[in-house]
Amino acid sequence: MAGKLTLSFMPYFEIAKLESSERIKKILDIILKGRIVILQGRLAVTEETGLIQATMALVGRIKGFKGVEIAIINPSSNQAIFDKIKSGIANALVGQRDSLTIIGPATMVKEIKKDPSKIELMLKR
């Protein structure tokens, strides 16, 4: 299994009805299997913080686990003000689905470079 890369795409509807702690657990379970999660949408800021806190609690407890790397791409950050208002209302109603979040084990991810329109994911060999 060494050298094998597995990407797990998670559509937003898979986590939409879960509690925050359940979302974090679901994502963390995938990462602990050595997979990179590509999440449609993004977690709430408190959930991102909770995920980082959970992973830091596991560093040193799980052999070889060194934490996670997270990157979020949000195409709506370049919108005009009126479009941002419309997007804000839509996000409040159905969640922020126009974003893309990549979360991977720090042991696999060398670097994540991002700008508003793209993400470059560099992996360790």
Q: What is the pLDDT of residues 71-104, one digit of tens each?
A: 888 765 555 665 656 555 655 554 555 788 889 8
On average, the pLDDT of the chain sits at 79
Bridge partners (DSSP) of residue 113 are 120
Answer for the pair 100, 83: CB distance below 8 angstroms, yes or no.
no
pLDDT at 109 over 80: no
In percent, the amount of the chain with pLDDT more than 70 equals: 70
pLDDT for the residue numbered 25 = 95
Q: What is the pLDDT of residues 33-67, one digit of tens each?
A: 989 999 998 888 899 999 999 999 999 898 888 88
pTM: 0.74
Torsion, Cα of 75, 50, 65, 14 (10° steps): -60
